[in-house]
Every structure is written in C-alpha cells, then in structure tokens.
Structure 1
Amino acid sequence: MKSDESLYHTTTINPHGMPGRAYVLGNGELNVQVSSPRKPEEPGTNPEQLLGLAQATCLASTLQTIQEGRGIEYQSEVRVGVDLKYDTHGLRFVIEVQARIPNVEPEEAQKQLDFAESRCPVSKLLSGNEDVSVKLVDKFTV
C-alpha cells in the first residue's frame, strides 16, 4: 500500500453553525445536535467535547494495540480535559491529556505512552502545540 493511499475517508458537515446539527455524510453514522459551551441552556455537544473524545479514543486505542502486541492485557485509561480560553486573537483550546497505565512499571508505562503518542494520528496532529500536554498519571485530575 502506498503511503498516500487513504485507509479511510469521512466527510463531516455542519450546515448551520451553532446551535444546529452536524453529521457524517453517508449512512447516518453520526448526527448530533451542536451548541456553544458558553450557552449551557442549549442542549447539544460542542467542539471541545468532540476534540476531547477524538484525542481520548485515538490515544487509548493506540495504547491498546501496543499493549496487546506485547502480550499485556489492556487496562489503561485516557482522560482529556479541554479548556476554552481567550488569547490575543480570539479563543484557543488548552488540552490536558492524562493516561493511567496500571500494572506496568512507571518507566515502561512512560515508554508505552511516548510510543503511543508518536503513533496516534490525533496526537501527531496536535504535537508541537504549546497548549497541549500529555502526562502519565497514577490518579486523574482532569
């Protein structure tokens, strides 16, 4: 397979902004109500939640693949905190990723997390951003 060949493609659409609906083009796989996080009276999800879910799911599944490949039962958990903050050009996201990898020595757990971060497409997309941190933890704070 060529490196530029797509393994999967999706098209997502938001035709109305917020509040409104956003969906995946196709067989109705995902169709969600969206709203602003700054208007809690409006039901729906928001970009902060979707970004956090994307990061948590991608990194957790990458860790799972790594651990299962090493014969380790997957017991890890990834939590992502996403904050919306002001900056000099409007708004920005600040993302804190925490991973807990139990029953693995801390040095080995850090190696697994570093390797997963280097392989997870969402982590690669966000890498180098000063507003993103990834930490190995024993207890979650996010």
Structure 2
Amino acid sequence: MKSDESLYHTTAVNDNGVKGHAYIVGDGELDVKISSPRKPDEAGANPEQLLGLAQATCLAATLETIQAGKGIEFQSEVRVGVDMKYDTHGLRFVVQVQAKIPNVELVEAQKMLDFAESRCPVSKLLSGNEDVSVELVDKFTV
C-alpha cells in the first residue's frame, strides 16, 4: 500500500453553525445535535466536546493496540480537558490530556504513552501546539 493511499475517508458536514446539527455523509449516518458552549442549557455537543472525544478515543485506541502487542490487558483510561479561552485573535482551545495506565511500571507506562502520542493521528495533528499538554497520571485532575 502506498503511504499516500487513504485507509479510510469520511466527510463531516456542518451547515447550521451552533444552531443545528453536524453529520457524517453516508458511512454510519452519524448525526449530532450541535449547540454553543456558551449556552449550557441547550442540548447538543460543541466543538470542545467533539475535540476532547476525538483525542481521548484516538489516544486510548492507540494505547490499546500497543498494550495488546505487549500482551498486556487493556485497562488504560484517557481523559481530555478542553478549555476555550480568549487570545489576541479571538478564541483558542487549551487541551489537557491525562492518561492512566494501571498495572504497568511507571517507566514502561511513560514509554507506552510517549509511543502512543507519536502514533495517534489526533495527537500528531495537535503536537507542537503550546496549548496542548499530555501527561501520565495516577489520579485524574481534568
């Protein structure tokens, strides 16, 4: 397989901003009600939540694959806190990723997390951003 050949493609559409829904064309028919994070009483997901879910799911799935390759039962958990803050050009996201890898020695767990971060497509997309942190924890704070 060529390195530029797509293994999977999806098309996400939002044609209503934060007042309607976003959906995936075909392929599973995912349709998500969207709302503004500034209106917490309105039902629906917002970009912060969707980004957090994408990062948590991708990094956990990558850890699962790494642990399976080492014969380790997957018990890891990834939590992602996403804050929206003002900056000089409008708004920005601050992303705090925390991973717990139980029943693995600290040094080995950190190696697994570092490797997972280098392999996870969402982590690679966010890497190098000063507003993104990833840490191994015993107790979650996000």
What are the ranges of 5 or more consecutive residues in structure 2 without an aligned counterpart? Answer: none
Superposition RMSD in Å = 0.8
Question: 1:72 maps to what in 2?
Answer: 72
Residues 49-103 of structure 1: per-residue CA shift (max 9 Å, x gap):
0000000000000000000000001110000000000000000000000000000
Question: 1:123 maps to what in 2?
Answer: 123
Question: 2:138 maps to what in 1?
Answer: 138
1:19·1:42 contact (CA, 8 Å) conserved in 2? no
- TM-score, normalisation: structure 2: 0.98
Counterpart secondary structure, 2:118: helix
Question: 1:16 maps to what in 2?
Answer: 16
Question: 1:48 maps to what in 2?
Answer: 48
Question: 2:3 maps to what in 1?
Answer: 3
Identity of aligned residues (%): 80
Counterpart secondary structure, 2:21: strand
- TM-score, normalisation: structure 1: 0.98
Runs (4+) of structure 1 exceeding 3 A deviation are: none
Question: 1:97 maps to what in 2?
Answer: 97
Q: How many aligned positions are there?
A: 142
1:110·1:136 contact (CA, 8 Å) conserved in 2? yes
Q: Residues of 2 paired with 1:64 and 1:28: CA distance? A: 23
Specify the code of the residue in structure 2 equivalent to 1:97: V
Counterpart secondary structure, 1:60: helix
Specify the code of the residue in structure 1 equivalent to 2:104: V
Q: Residues of 2 paired with 1:2 and 1:13: CA distance? A: 28
Question: 2:88 maps to what in 1?
Answer: 88
